[in-house]
Structures are given as structure tokens and as C-alpha cells.
Amino acid sequence: MSNSLITLRRPSPRDGSALHALVKACPPLDENSMYCNLLQCTHFSTTSVVAERDDALVSAVSGYLVPGREDTLFVWQVAVSEDARGQGLGGRMLADILARPECSGVRYLETTVTASNEASWALFKGFARRQGAGLEQSELFESDEHFNGAKPTEILVRIGPLGEQALESGSGSTNITKEMMA
């Protein structure tokens, strides 16, 4: 693990291919097309964040405001490279997005997680606990009905309501060192 600074920032189109490679290197994440990753880095840049160390993308969170429910941020995907794991980076990245002016009306965070994805459960349960917010679970996309049995069931996780603590714990671009994450 490098002691170099990790910098958080909004993604840009130049991050599309690096995001594609990062997601591919982070099973069990679903790989999207590179075009989809480019859209995440452009159309959804205000509600997404990337983390860089030594000019390399080491983590990314993509999300969007749910149409018709702009008080809800849906977290589409969280990817953390193997050498950046275990530093609390995912939670810091969620807080960074929520602290942005575009998310000033957000009171709920939603995502989907498969039952076996322990890392994602730990991230979202820990985030809810740190925010003092409730966490509700319900089945959203069932394996046989929605994925023809090709993928496990996706469970909808809804965290909220989020208070001022969630909105103040991130602040745009952030530098993170190993010592800060301990």
C-alpha cells in the first residue's frame, strides 16, 4: 500500500477507460461497456467521484439523483482497487458526493447489493451507522424473474433520512493520506 496522497475529485471524460479497467479489476462488480463508463464520467459527474493516487485511478463511486425523487441519491457502483481497500475510502467518497451543492436536497441514499457482497454490506451499514440513519432492505430485482437466473437477487438498500452530519462530512476535493484513514 502506497503512502502517497489519494485525491478525490469529480470524474471527467478522460477517466472513462481507466474507470472501465478499474471495474473490470474489481469482481464481483458488473462490467459495463466503456461507453457506459464514459456516461458515468460525464452525465453523472456531479453525483460521482473518483480517487487518484500517483495519477492512477484507485477508486470510484458512481451515482445519480433518482428522477422524480431528487431527495434520493442512487449509488450505482463502488469500485475500490485492491491496494486501496481497508482505508475507509468508500465512506469518504460517499460523504464527498453528498456534500456537493447538487446534493443539497438529498435525504436518502439507495443502492442495490447482492446478499453475498460482504464488502458492500460493510460499507453501507457502516455509513448508515456513522450518519445515525436507518437502513432498510427489500428485494428489488429477483434472480429468476429479472435476471433469468444468471445473476443473484439485488437487494435494495435505503439509508436515511440523512442529517446535516452526512452533508458536512465531505467537501469537494479531498486529500487523504494513510495516516488520516487510520
Rounded distance between C-alpha atoms, residue 83 and residue 90, angstroms: 13
| Residue (of 103, 98, 41) closest to 70 by Cα position | 103
Average pLDDT, the chain: 89
- Are 98 and 73 in contact, with CB atoms under 8 Å apart? yes
Q: Which three cell numbers stand for residue 2?
A: 502506497
Q: How many Cβ atoms are within 10 Å of 129's Cβ, its own excluded?
A: 11
* Residue 27 pLDDT: 87
Which residue do the cell numbers 489519494 mark? 6
pLDDT tens-digit map of 33-88 = 999 999 999 999 999 999 999 999 999 999 999 999 999 999 999 999 999 998 89
pLDDT tens-digit map of 81-129 = 999 998 899 999 999 999 999 999 999 999 999 999 999 999 999 999 9
pLDDT tens-digit map of 13-34 = 999 999 999 999 998 888 999 9
User: pTM of the full predicted structure?
Assistant: 0.86
Rounded distance between C-alpha atoms, residue 87 and residue 72, angstroms: 26
Q: How many Cβ atoms are within 10 Å of 180's Cβ, its own excluded?
A: 13
Rounded distance between C-alpha atoms, residue 168 and residue 47, angstroms: 16
Rounded distance between C-alpha atoms, residue 26 and residue 5, angstroms: 21
Q: Which three cell numbers stand for residue 99?
A: 456534500
Q: Name residues whose C-beta falls within 8 Å of residue 75's C-beta, 6 or more positions apart in sequence.
A: 61, 62, 63, 94, 109, 110, 111
